Structure 1
């Protein structure tokens, strides 16, 4: 532990608090990855399925596809029962969406992006004749988990019932045979192993809301430095700094870098996002003034003009905040 920086220590203690409050280790492998040194590397725009972070409050359930069905119930005129084949026969839409675990730490690894394919939740609810005065849409899973979103959010047109992930059927560990994908909200709203969608006229409290976690679950603006890695020594006086930023459906307007521990800030170069619901990559060509030790910070401004907060807060109950900080040594 002596090699951890203050911010790394805060990340570790935040993770401990999160795991203690969140039974079942919702972000698989979280503490191990924080305390075990990781090799710095760039981030691919689309996360391979085998590297996509895993969310589960229990072990993935075993589902026999011939016995599985998706029900649409509650305040609807025409309840629906869909078999897997019937689900696949419906018109398919696709979207590239970034999901982040609410238990992710500042600059943590539990944020990933995939191309999701499936059906529109809003279209399915229209087909069922959902009551427009409803309050919540509840998602129930085969493992006993449940969560909800507001009815208006469900009808916005961008929420998917996904059955494919990066060109293949959903892997078992990511919700096979169907899951919800809710852009702009922490991953617990994107319920996996979906079995029932219920339209209700009250404020439904899901598994984690009953335990004091956020109900709205809108993601907070985050940014991180991927390259160079913290604690590294790199030769030369010209370097490209790289990383990513994410603010859900609000988008990213600006990313800034400080190489003097926050005294001065300089705009980085933003790449266009792959979709309105995906993370942004950024880069900064750093002309180092002289060899030495530097503390580098990054911050993002979302599409509404709100600057990422520097206030350090752990993940409980509604997502971590703070700025990512690294220290590097420049040699010649």
Structure 2
């Protein structure tokens, strides 16, 4: 057997293994697919600096980069296993087995998967090793023919397609569409026409759902049907409560305009968006359960096992207006933004306030439970820091000399933005014109016009919030509780 044939045999064994595991996972839980489970484990085990680098470098494409990198590693390893099996198949089979065992370990340790889910990676392991031994045995009378290679290829393709088809039947899209329009009993006030300066280069005040930032650890979007969903509220409460989607859907719903920010947002970053969220007051649910003295955090769990800890004081604060949200910008939550339900807590970074696909709420203490990011060294309380950004001109843009328009956005959720200033080429700070404030929990746009001579120019911006605090110049990274520093842009006037 040629070296090329041995490489191909190893890769085909890999394809057969992944396809078989994917097919079995489709009957149990799509998250048990070994490829996805190993990817999820890789995310959990990745050191914080590397995670921060991935989000900063690849943005919302970080998961695709991870899966693509895994694919390259697996194909190279499978091809190497084939090459090492020139004399006997066992060295290569051992490599295949090691990767198979990694899949078993990944699925077995996923907190959201039942024990039976290990059948998927076990199937992958057995099929991978079996196919490898058949295709990579030494050249004897029983040596596999070209037909055997084609049969394995066809079988892997059919298994993968069948698994994908079965997985698609569990798609929650139809369930979301059946919910229909969500009409709040208490609607948010209309957005004033001058709430943004979109014609001058700022974002629109309300972020369309398709453009709303998304940062989470889910490699595949959880598919939860509204009719299957329920929420458990328990822990340090007088009365454990359970809610179905219908229970919440039939309540008088409230709509609030809220700007959300990710803690991974670098200075000048775009992980900040605004929407009209519709849902149920979280404080109402907590009052119904009766929070006991000594409670400190609302420990929330997503259907995929991700966890978050929200300060109980923030969740109960009616002036803050935390929601168990069902809708977003007039429609049910998009699947990728948490359908059927998620938390939205104004003024706190998303990792402590905005659990998507939420299925469990436990009232507890900080010492008793540690959430996903708290275990990894991130901050406990996580109030959003006052920040501002320049959107126009873009970095290194060329503009006509003379009058140059500058515009951007600032945010200081739950405090409010009172002032945004700019500084051109190290000169004095100059005021800008602010848009109409919608609420203290939303961002605020700004713009101004300056006159510049031909050449290269640098502009900084800074915001002052309603408490009197002005952004610090000190540059601090996102870890452990949000970035600080003045954003700047450099442009060329010609």
By the TM > 0.5 criterion, same fold?
yes
Q: In the superposition, relative to structure 1, how do residues 68 and 52 fare at CA in structure 2: closer, same or farther (>3 Å)?
A: same
Shift of 1:95: 0.9
Matched, 1:196 2:360: yes
Say whether the 8 Å CA contact 2:201–2:407 is kept in structure 1: no
Q: 2:379 pairs with 214, 234, 247, which one?
A: 214
Q: Please give the residue correspondences for 1:1-332 in structure 2 after superposition, counting only pairs within 5 Å.
A: 20-21=50-51, 28-29=60-61, 41-59=201-219, 60-157=221-318, 158-189=321-352, 190-203=354-367, 204-261=369-426, 263-288=427-452, 290-331=453-494
Aligned-partner Cα distance in 1 for 2:235–2:347: 25
Superposed CA deviations along residues 137-156 of structure 1, whole A, max 9, x for unmatched, are 11111010111122211110
What displacement does 1:114 show? Answer: 0.7
The match for 1:36 is none
Tell me by how many angstroms 1:258 deviates.
Answer: 0.6
Q: 1:24 to 1:80 in 2, by over 3 A?
A: farther
Give the superposition deviation at 1:23.
Answer: 10
Report Cα offsets for 1:124-182 as digits up to 9, x if no partner: 11112222432211111101011112221111011010000011100010011000001
Task: Decide which structure has the larger Cα Rg and report it.
Answer: 2
Once the two structures are superposed, what CA deviation does each residue of 1:81-106 show, in whole Å capped at 9, x if it has no partner?
A: 11111111112111111111111111
List gaps (5 residues or longer) in structure 2: 1-45, 65-199
Number of equivalent positions: 307
The superposition leaves residues 38-96 of structure 1 with CA deviations (integer Å, 9 ceiling, x where unpaired) of xx953110111111111211232121332210111112222211111111111211111
Confirm or deny: 8 A CA contact 2:396 2:489 kept in the other structure: yes
> Structure 1 residues 230, 18: CA separation in 2 closer, same or farther (over 3 Å shift)?
farther
CA deviations over 1:185-237 (Å, ceiling 9, x no partner): 11112111010111114443210110111111111111111111111111141
Is contact 1:49-1:166 (8 Å) kept?
Answer: yes
Q: If the length of structure 2 is used for normalisation, what is the TM-score?
A: 0.59
SS for the counterpart of 2:483 is: coil
Q: CA RMSD, aligned part only? A: 2.3
For 1:267 and 1:30, locate their aligned partners in 2 and report how far apart those are by CA, in whole Å: 38
Q: Note if contact 2:409-2:443 (Cα within 8 Å) is conserved in structure 1.
A: yes
Structure with a larger share of its residues in strand: 1
Higher helix share: 2
Normalising by structure 1, report the TM-score: 0.87
Displacement of 1:276 in angstroms is 1.7
